[in-house]
Structure 1
Amino acid sequence: MKKQLVFLLIISILNSPLSAENMMQVYRHAQQNDAQTKASEANYRAVLEKKPQALSGLKPQINLSGSASYTTLFSTRVAHRPDDKSAFLNLGYTLNLTQPLYRKSVNIQIDQVDATISKARATLVLDQQNLIIRVADAYLAYLKAKDNLKFAKLETKAFKRQFMQVKAFFDAERSAITDVKEAQARYDLARSREVSSVQQIQLAKETLKAISGYYYKDLLGAANRIPLLSPKPNNINAWSQAAAKNSPKVQMAKYAVAVAEESVNLARANKSPTVDLFARHSTSSTYGESSFDQDKLDAVIGIQLNIPLYTGGNTASKIREARHKLQQARYLLEAEKRNAIQQTRASFLTITTGLSQLNALQQALKSNQIAARATQTGFEVGTRTAVDVLLSVRETFRAQRDYSNARYDFLLNTLKLKQATGILRIQDLQGLSNLLTKAIQ
């Protein structure tokens, strides 16, 4: 009973929401629990085992075999003599040793394995960078949903207040029934957005749980003012050149070309001779009739040369196949370079235009706030309609949402730009986490 209670307590602790955490704490949890990253790490360790397997082709191969048999012989005699029956026990073993002296294909296999390991390492780096992006994306999606809920609540409160005011004006015969209906509709829409925002928060929490293994009660958010800086260097060509050289996907494609080149060399090496040193020690003993008892010892040492002369066209076909696959790998490398450049340029332009958009949205927010106050004053004195007020309130909250969402998108895009060029590091996530230190409600 106690064990069951302890088990249930542990489960409840693991599944209970954690208190406010920062982005780096979420990332540390993800490092420990993310299934995709763990699978990538396991794959890399598995690929590392290919190296000792390849090296074994240059090392001695020793095997021992033994045998035991029991033989019964019958012989039929003539002239009324009794038949003879003999039984023999045969025991023996053979010890074989083979030491490769020259095997060109094995050396090529070792080089190919080195390229395969490098490719697997590049894949692991890509998956680790993807984890950084996935954590940042899910974390910022949560903050975005929290901000949207905050704005939705304020919007609902504002539309409710406006609805009550318009209704009072209608009762005083200062407003039309259409204004009341319009205010009611805006209020209902605001309430629906509030419900939708709550759902988005729950979805963001589920995404974080899938990555990190934990539910979070709350996360630290952004202060009202955070620095939004242009990429350094602020040169799109410099970023493009770096992406074509250092992008993880480009690196993977480069090593894939190296693997394909060694495949061509390996296919050619199948035409090369092999030279092995071999030694064999064997003994056999026979026990039975005294005249047949004997022991036999055999010891052989020598060098074996094997020259493939003709394989029915198999070797030539495999060489052609390897060449075609090499050509394919080179085309894929070129495609990855172009994709990396395109994605990097797109990310760079998204960031630079995002800065301009943020400045414009910030100014639009200020203008909408001023316009909303002026429209409200005009409504109270009778120069503006209730619909004008509702529209100005809606535009104000829309500007707030757009500015908040654009700010989070900008922060995420700065990480994506670094990922596209292969320079994304944990320190970049730490820098972003340092900007998100405000407790949010």
Structure 2
Amino acid sequence: MKPHYISFISLIFSLVNSLPAPAQPRPLTMQSAVRLALEKNRDLQVATLETAKATEKIREARSYALPTVSASAQYLYFPLKQVSFLPGSFVGLGENDLATFRVGGSNAFLGGVAVSQPLFQAGIGSGIRAAQLLENASAEERNEVRASVVTEVKKAYLDVLITQAQLRLQQQSLVRNEQAMKDARSLLAQGRASRVDTLRAFVSVENLRPEIIRLTNQVEITKTVLKRTMGLDEREIVDLQDSLHYDSGAFVAPGADAFLDAVQARPEVHRLELTEKLNREQIALQTAERAPKLSAIGLLQAQAQANHLRLDHYNWPLSSYIGLQLNVPIFSGFRTVSRIQQAVISRQQSETQLLNLKEVVRAQVKISLSNVEESRLRIATQQQTVTVAELGYRITRDRWKQGIASRLDLSDAELSLTQAKSNYLQAIYDYLTATVELDKVLGHTAF
């Protein structure tokens, strides 16, 4: 073999080896999908950051009880020096005359350190308690988002499963209809069936293909929704490991106190309870604005002036003071009164929202239990229907092959079988979705 041929083949092999390996599908169970979502879901990440921000507000509220220390420095240049006025008698002028003197240097430096320590400020305690309540409310809001993420991921996972199952069901129907078309052609060749039966079988087969195309595309759409809900890259390939399965013994009906348990477990209820307490603290915080504020203050200051900028020749005399500062609010244009009333109205709103939410929870529990029970009854009914439809299809197919039944009878039997299986799958999907929703309603979405 010639050398340039060997080089060409080596180049081809190197190019093939350099191609990226095809992405491996990520196997996903429902539980692993939920775990990934709790790590990667962006809404949950935002809620977690909001909780961290609320934690910093506690530090901010506590800082109002700590001393404030500030340093300042100032440089001034006087093109015209400062003027001082003295009685004219000091320089031989009349009693009613004033003498003016320009004092100081052209350059002035001033620097100091000021300290202020609150001694009495009624709103500090309320501010700290309000910040702590806000942190707790933010944590409950994060739990609320967490519960929603868990529910949304499970529902999206079930959406993929039901679409895949419907696609398989239509593919099975296509196989049955293709077999029926082959049988019709065989019977036509034997003179035992008409050309119309063959045409009907062909039309039945072709009518199924658009639905299979639609469902194939819908599978990809539902997977995209699942990946977005989980926070995965849309280009990642996922392979779902679970299937639509009904276990009649897995469901445990909640007790008579389901509503009370839901109220105690739901993060939305906890958040509104904390919000109501927070609004009460806001009332106390705004009321405290009417109270006097007492602070200890102090200042250490150095200053110097001269007509030149040779700082090593400057004198820097120090001055200082310490004292108490009292601030008594007298009139603020009704701003404080308005803020107190706003806080009172906010508290009333939160109380009303809390009562309304409890009634909503009561209704949700009742509706969710009803949906679970209704879907369980449908599953039991559809199981029998599928069995009967399968038997009816086999009998009709055998009768058609014998020339006793018509092609239309066979088409009706096949359609009834497909519809019965589809209804059964839908009942299982509705049951699983209803149990997921019931878990959220009862506050059982911890993971």
TM-score (norm 2): 0.82
Residue in 1 that maps onto 2:171: 153
Give unmatched runs, 5+ long, in structure 2: 1-16, 83-101, 309-313
1:77-116 superposed matches below 5 A: 87-116=105-134
* 308 and 134 in structure 1: CA distance in 2 versus 1, 3 angstrom threshold: same
1:355-434 superposed matches below 5 A: 355-426=376-447
SS in 1 for 2:350: helix
33, 50, 54: which is aligned to 1:43?
50
Q: How many residues align?
A: 403
CA contact (8 A) 1:111 1:262 kept: yes
Residue in 2 that maps onto 1:185: 203
SS in 2 for 1:120: helix
Residue in 1 that maps onto 2:13: none
Shift of 1:192: 2.0
SS in 1 for 2:303: strand
1:324-339 superposed matches below 5 A: 324-339=345-360
315, 322, 325: which is aligned to 1:301?
322
Give unmatched runs, 5+ long, in structure 1: 1-8, 76-83, 427-441
Rounded to whole Å, the distance in 1 between the matches of 2:154 and 2:80 is 83
CA contact (8 A) 2:30 2:242 kept: no
Residue in 2 that maps onto 1:241: 260
Rounded to whole Å, the distance in 1 between the matches of 2:103 and 2:64 is 50
Residue in 2 that maps onto 1:321: 342
Q: Which amino acid aligns with 2:276?
A: V
Q: Which amino acid aligns with 2:211?
A: R
Shift of 1:340: 2.0
1:114-133 superposed matches below 5 A: 114-133=132-151
Rounded to whole Å, the distance in 2 between the matches of 1:107 and 1:375 is 83
Q: Which amino acid aligns with 2:225?
A: T
Rounded to whole Å, the distance in 2 between the matches of 1:231 and 1:278 is 68
Shift of 1:344: 2.2
SS in 2 for 1:384: coil
278, 289, 292: which is aligned to 1:270?
289
Give the RMSD, CA atoms, in angstroms. 2.9
Rounded to whole Å, the distance in 2 between the matches of 1:269 and 1:86 is 46
Q: Which amino acid aligns with 1:242?
A: D
* 74 and 331 in structure 1: CA distance in 2 versus 1, 3 angstrom threshold: closer
CA contact (8 A) 2:137 2:270 kept: yes
SS in 2 for 1:165: helix
CA contact (8 A) 1:257 1:330 kept: yes
Residue in 1 that maps onto 2:66: 59
Rounded to whole Å, the distance in 2 between the matches of 1:336 and 1:359 is 35
Residue in 1 that maps onto 2:252: 232
SS in 1 for 2:443: coil
Shift of 1:294: 6.3
Rounded to whole Å, the distance in 2 between the matches of 1:242 and 1:308 is 48
Rounded to whole Å, the distance in 2 between the matches of 1:85 and 1:287 is 10
Q: Which amino acid aligns with 2:66?
A: K
1:90-137 Cα distance to aligned partner (Å, 9 max, x none): 222121111111211122111111111111111111111222222222
Shift of 1:403: 1.8
How much identity, in percent, do the aligned residues show? 18
Q: Which amino acid aligns with 1:387?
A: L
Q: Which amino acid aligns with 2:41?
A: D
Q: Higher Cα Rg: structure 1 or 2?
A: 2
Higher deviation after alignment, 117-126 or 186-195: 186-195
TM-score (norm 1): 0.83
CA contact (8 A) 1:371 1:392 kept: yes
* 345 and 148 in structure 1: CA distance in 2 versus 1, 3 angstrom threshold: same
Shift of 1:24: 3.2
Q: Which amino acid aligns with 1:331?
A: T
Shift of 1:282: 1.6
Rounded to whole Å, the distance in 2 between the matches of 1:392 and 1:51 is 70
CA contact (8 A) 1:72 1:87 kept: no
* 310 and 265 in structure 1: CA distance in 2 versus 1, 3 angstrom threshold: same
SS in 1 for 2:296: strand
